[in-house]
C-alpha cells in the first residue's frame, strides 16, 4: 500500500516539477530568448517582450482550469493528468527546437507565444488535478503531507531549473551558450515530461472517483454545478491563495533580481541566496504539512499569514541593510514563512469541495488567483519600487496580501482528518444523481 502511495505521489507531482523547471529556465534564460526571438538593436524592448510572453501563459491558465477541471470531474482525474503532462512536455520541447528570428522573422515570437500559451493552458489542469488526485488517494490522517508534495515538487523543480542554467553557463563557453546551450534545458524538460507521462499512464483513477462513476453520480455539468453550489468555496480558495502566490513569487522569482538590481549584489550572490532559500523551503514544507495533519490546517494558515503581516516590512529592511549575510538571512526567513503557509494551503483548498465537483471548484479558484496574483507579482512589485523610489515597497504588497488571506483563513472550518467522501455540496446538486453524501429518498 505504501509503495502504491509513493507511485501516486511521484506520478502526480512530477508534472508540477516539470512546470516549475520550465518556469525557472525561461526566466534565467530570458536574455538569450530575447536575443534570438526578437529584432536586434533594442535589447530592452526584446527583454520586455520576452517577459510579456512569459506573463501571457499565466493569463491563459484560468482557461485551462475551466476546461480541464470539468473534464477531470467527468472522465476522471488520471486521464486529464496524462493529457496535460503530454501537452506541457510537447510545448516545452517545442521551445527548445524553435527557429529563431534570424531564420523565420516575426514567425519566431509568434510561435514562442503559442507554445507559452499551450504551457499555461496545460498548467491550468496540472496543479489542481494533481492536488485532487493526491487528496483522493491519501489516507485521511496523512492527507496534508500527501497533497503538499505538489507544492514541494514545485520548489524542487524551480531549484533544479536554476541549478541547470547556472551549471551550463559555468561549463559552456559564452559562444556555445549563445549558439545552442540555451536550448538544452528545454530539451531536458521534454524527456522528463515523457517519464511523467509513462508513470501516469500506469496509474489508475482515484477510489473516490471510481465509486462516484460506478454509482452513476458523476455531474453532467460540473463547472456550472461548482459555480452554482460552491461559489463561496471558490472565493475562499482565491482569498487563501493570494498570499500563497504573492509570497511564492516574491521569494522565488522577484528577490533574485532584486538582489542584483536594487541591492547591488552580484549574480553569484543572488544565486547563493535563492539556492539557500529554496533549500530552506524544501526542508520545511513536508514536516510542516505533517504538523498540519496533527494540529489542523487553520493554525498554520493563520500563523503563516500573521508572520508575513508582522515580519514582512522588517525583513525587507534587513534585506536593505547593506550586509550580504543579513540579506540572505532575511531571504531564508521569508522562505520559511512561505513554507508555513504553503504546507497547509493546498490541502485546505482541496478539502472544501465535494468529489463530484472537486477538480472543477479547486482548479477554477486556484487558477484565477494565479492569473491575478501570480505571474503579475514580479511586475507589480518592480513597478511599486520604481514608482515610489522606496526599496522596501514590495513589503507593502506582501503585507496587504497576507492581511487578505489571514481574513479568509479565519473564516474556514477545520478540515484536517475529515473524510473527503463526507464533504457535501452546500445545497442540492444540479442535474442527475443524488449528490455525494446525501441520502436517497
Over the stretch 63-106, which tens digit does the pLDDT of each residue have? Answer: 999 999 999 999 999 999 999 999 998 999 999 999 999 999 99
Is residue 419 in a domain?
no
pLDDT band at 298 (very low <50, low <70, confident <90, very high): very high
Instruction: Dump pLDDT digits (tens) for 132-162.
Output: 999 999 999 999 999 999 999 999 999 999 8
Grid look-up 461548482 returns 226
Q: Which residues contact 40 (CB under 8 A, 6 or more apart)?
A: 46, 101
Instruction: Dump pLDDT digits (tens) for 24-70.
Output: 888 788 888 988 998 887 766 776 787 788 778 888 999 999 999 99
Range list of H helices, 76-201: 77-97, 101-104, 107-137, 143-147, 149-171, 174-179, 184-201
Q: For the chain, what is the mean pLDDT?
A: 89
Is residue 282 in a domain?
yes
What is the rounded distance in angstroms from the CA atom of residue 172 to the CA atom of residue 170? Answer: 6
**pLDDT value, residue 416:** 92
- Percentage with pLDDT > 70 across the chain: 94
Is residue 245 in a domain?
yes
**pLDDT value, residue 49:** 81
**pLDDT value, residue 425:** 67
Burial 97-130 (b: 16+ CB within 10 A, else e): ebeebeeeeeebbebbbebbbbbbbbbbbbbbbb
Reading the block at residue 55, the C-alpha cell is 506573463
pLDDT band at 259 (very low <50, low <70, confident <90, very high): very high
Instruction: Dump pLDDT digits (tens) for 201-216.
Output: 888 898 888 988 888 8
- The mean pLDDT of 221-249, rounded to a whole number, is 95
Is residue 365 in a domain?
yes
Is residue 220 in a domain?
no
**pLDDT value, residue 421:** 75
Distances from the Cα of 417 to the Cα of 132, 145, 151, 388, angstroms: 16, 12, 20, 46
Is residue 115 in a domain?
yes
pLDDT band at 392 (very low <50, low <70, confident <90, very high): very high
Instruction: Dump pLDDT digits (tens) for 406-422.
Output: 999 999 999 998 888 77
pLDDT band at 427 (very low <50, low <70, confident <90, very high): low
- The mean pLDDT of 13-25, rounded to a whole number, is 86
Is residue 238 in a domain?
yes
What is the rounded distance in angstroms from the CA atom of residue 151 to the CA atom of residue 307? Answer: 20
Domain interval for residue 370: 3-212+226-411
CATH number, domain containing residue 170 = 1.20.1250.20
Is the pLDDT at 2 greater than 70? The verdict is no
- The mean pLDDT of 293-299, rounded to a whole number, is 97
Instruction: Dump pLDDT digits (tens) for 113-128.
Output: 999 999 999 999 999 9
pLDDT band at 436 (very low <50, low <70, confident <90, very high): very low
**pLDDT value, residue 148:** 96
In the chain, how many domains are there? 1
Spatial contact of 437 and 224, defined as CB atoms under 8 Å apart = no
Count of beta carbons in the 10 Å neighbourhood of residue 426: 12
Is residue 420 in a domain?
no
Amino acid at each position: 500500500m505504501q509503495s502504491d502511495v509513493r507511485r501516486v505521489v511521484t506520478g502526480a507531482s512530477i508534472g508540477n516539477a516539470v512546470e516549475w523547471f520550465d518556469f525557472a529556465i525561461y526566466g534565467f534564460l530570458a536574455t538569450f530568448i530575447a536575443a534570438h526571438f526578437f529584432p536586434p538593436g533594442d535589447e530592452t524592448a526584446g527583454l520586455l517582450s520576452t517577459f510579456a510572453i512569459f506573463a501571457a501563459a499565466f493569463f491563459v491558465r484560468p482557461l485551462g482550469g475551466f476546461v480541464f477541471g470539468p473534464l477531470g470531474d467527468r472522465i476522471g482525474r488520471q486521464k486529464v493528468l496524462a493529457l496535460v503532462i503530454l501537452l506541457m512536455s510537447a510545448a516545452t520541447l517545442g521551445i527548445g527546437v524553435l527557429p529563431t528570428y534570424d531564420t523565420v522573422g516575426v514567425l519566431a515570437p509568434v510561435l514562442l507565444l503559442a507554445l507559452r500559451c499551450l504551457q499555461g493552458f496545460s498548467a491550468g489542469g496540472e496543479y489542481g488535478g494533481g492536488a485532487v488526485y493526491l487528496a483522493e488517494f491519501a489516507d485521511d490522517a496523512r492527507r496534508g503531507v500527501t497533497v503538499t508534495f505538489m507544492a514541494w515538487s514545485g520548489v524542487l523543480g524551480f531549484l533544479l531549473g536554476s541549478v541547470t542554467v547556472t551549471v551550463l553557463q559555468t561549463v559552456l563557453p559564452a559562444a556555445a551558450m549563445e549558439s545552442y546551450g540555451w536550448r538544452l534545458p528545454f530539451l531536458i524538460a521534454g524527456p522528463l515530461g515523457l517519464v511523467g507521462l509513462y508513470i501516469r499512464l500506469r496509474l489508475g483513477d482515484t477510489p473516490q472517483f471510481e465509486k462516484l462513476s460506478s454509482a452513476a453520480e458523476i455531474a453532467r455539468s460540473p463547472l456550472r454545478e461548482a459555480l452554482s453550489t460552491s461559489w463561496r468555496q471558490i472565493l475562499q480558495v482565491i482569498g487563501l491563495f493570494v498570499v500563497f502566490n504573492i509570497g511564492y513569487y516574491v521569494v522565488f522569482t522577484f528577490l533574485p533580481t532584486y538582489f542584483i538590481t536594487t541591492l547591488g549584489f552580484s549574480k553569484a550572490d543572488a544565486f547563493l541566496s535563492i539556492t539557500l532559500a529554496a533549500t530552506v523551503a524544501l526542508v520545511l514544507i513536508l514536516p510542516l504539512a505533517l504538523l498540519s495533519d496533527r494540529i489542523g490546517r487553520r493554525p498554520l494558515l493563520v500563523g503563516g499569514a500573521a508572520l508575513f503581516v508582522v515580519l514582512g516590512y522588517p525583513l525587507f529592511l534587513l534585506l536593505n541593510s547593506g550586509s550580504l549575510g543579513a540579506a540572505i538571512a532575511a531571504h531564508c526567513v521569508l522562505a520559511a514563512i512561505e513554507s508555513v503557509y504553503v504546507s497547509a494551503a493546498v490541502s485546505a483548498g482541496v478539502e472544501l469541495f465535494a468529489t463530484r465537483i472537486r477538480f472543477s471548484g479547486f482548479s477554477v479558484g486556484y487558477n484565477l488567483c494565479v492569473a491575478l496574483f501570480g505571474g503579475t507579482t514580479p511586475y507589480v512589485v518592480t513597478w511599486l519600487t520604481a514608482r515610489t523610489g522606496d526599496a522596501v515597497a514590495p513589503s507593502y504588497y506582501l503585507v496587504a496580501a497576507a492581511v487578505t488571506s489571514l481574513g479568509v483563513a479565519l473564516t474556514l472550518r477545520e478540515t484536517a482528518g475529515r473524510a473527503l467522501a463526507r464533504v457535501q455540496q452546500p445545497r442540492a446538486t444540479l442535474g442527475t444523481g443524488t449528490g455525494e453524501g446525501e441520502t436517497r429518498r
